[in-house]
Structure 1
């Protein structure tokens, strides 16, 4: 588990966890969990298209994630956001089915993109993942205040001069990059678990944005590291532990909130008496 060939796994998984923790916070406060689920599922057929034309699968993932961003953004202006997200997912999955039907050499790669293949990370994967991680964190840092304000209250953001439409497009682009880099590690079906579970727990445990983001990152890193360790011990899929731990973090956050509410109610009752 800690041998030399696992070094790449620990490095890439840690980078993915950090990005998922940061982006996941905004996914939670914006109520964009459906988009966080849709973009990875809509992006993974891009790897099939990349395979057909002979380019790096990561390029296909980013291109299809970008198409998903454009579809969600454009259709969202015409009606409800969840309907636009669903229509974009249907369109991308339809294209994915077409591309997959054109090749017979993609079954194992499809499985790894759906469920993750963190143990198959090579040295060549580190640089693009690291670059995308830096870009995502930099974009969030540069747009932190307007992105946070538009996430909490679009009316207040507009009154402060923030272009909410531009921030929505910026957020979707950041989410697309984050999901594209995370797909080979945790898979399309569970990347949103890594984003939403730790971030939801952090949001419940802290009311302040920056501490909540830092806590989300810590929980996400612990989730990935624990999942890899348990996978090495049990020989079960990493994705199973990522999904289970993500749900466990959220359950812990809900329990903590309930206990804190009861304690406050008890304190108020004692003071009144």
Structure 2
């Protein structure tokens, strides 16, 4: 397709894809107060880069493997009764330190960590687009298929048990989906900013929606607006796309929050 020959079109498609998946899952992050989860998995991706360089495997595969392992570790530790915010805080900063140390020790040419920390969506290729949109499709199908389980176990564990659901399965599924989204989003917004794309659109959507389904749709729409607006802002200001995307998302959040307070006053 000639259209995909343009790096700006590929960047826009990548940003929209990540924004859709992050907006959908970000609602559960906000509802469950799991803001540190994105940090833990994103920071762990740096360790995945180091392992990929050491063993000569594709970087994306290393990031996916380590991010998935981090998701399973978080699920296992919180399932044992440990405080989620404490576990995620320790793992997030520990994974970042270990990852940076491992990259420094990796033999061979130095890797440009800035692209992984802040994103480099303008270098997205066709294979990257296939990976991102394949991930979006998987997230969409699994969330739609398990919406009742995910939502009920988020609202009340006791209610989930009463309805014959296993809330642990919902938590495990959510952890793995979030790990996957974080892994494929690294190239778009970077390891340091992916949590913002998970949280800010969902938090802003609270001012627009009255139902969980409405909030999820609004979060996806705000995420897409931030992705497209961030790309335009980055091109105009000659800045990084990841930081510009987060800047637009914050601006939308501020406007919607102010409007919501005026409406309630």
Q: Same fold (TM over 0.5)?
A: yes
Cα distance in 1 between the residues matched to 2:132 and 2:65:
16
Residues 7 and 243 from structure 1, CA distance in 2 versus in 1: closer, same or farther, beyond 3 angstroms? closer
Structure 1 residues 227-262: Cα deviation after superposition (integer angstroms, max 9, x where no partner): 111111110111222222222222223223312221
Matches within 5 A, 1:207-218: 207-218=210-221
Runs of 4+ in structure 1 off by over 3 angstroms are none
Cα distance in 2 between the residues matched to 1:90 and 1:222:
30
Unpaired stretches in structure 1, ≥5 consecutive residues: 263-273
Q: Which residue of 1 aligns with 2:19?
A: 17
Matches within 5 A, 1:1-273: 4-78=6-80, 79-100=82-103, 101-108=105-112, 110-262=113-265
Query: Does the 8 A contact of 1:68 with 1:92 survive in 2?
Result: no
User: Post-superposition shift, 1:162?
Assistant: 1.9
User: Post-superposition shift, 1:98?
Assistant: 4.0
User: Post-superposition shift, 1:117?
Assistant: 0.1
Unpaired stretches in structure 2, ≥5 consecutive residues: none
Q: What CA RMSD, in Å, does the superposition of the two structures yield over aligned residues?
A: 1.8
Q: Give TM-score scaled by structure 2 length.
A: 0.91
Paired residue secondary structure (1:107): coil
Residues 126 and 255 from structure 1, CA distance in 2 versus in 1: closer, same or farther, beyond 3 angstroms? same
Q: Which residue of 2 aligns with 1:266?
A: none
Cα distance in 1 between the residues matched to 2:37 and 2:231:
26
Cα distance in 1 between the residues matched to 2:61 and 2:45:
10
Structure 1 residues 7-46: Cα deviation after superposition (integer angstroms, max 9, x where no partner): 2212211111111111111111111111122211122320
User: Post-superposition shift, 1:104?
Assistant: 4.9
* Aligned residue-pair number: 260
Q: Give TM-score scaled by structure 1 length.
A: 0.89
Cα distance in 2 between the residues matched to 1:239 and 1:5:
15
Structure 1 residues 187-244: Cα deviation after superposition (integer angstroms, max 9, x where no partner): 0111111111111111222121222111111110110111111111110111222222
Cα distance in 1 between the residues matched to 2:101 and 2:239:
31
Query: Does the 8 A contact of 1:46 with 1:57 survive in 2?
Result: yes
Deviates most, 94-103 or 30-39? 94-103
Query: Does the 8 A contact of 1:190 with 1:243 survive in 2?
Result: yes
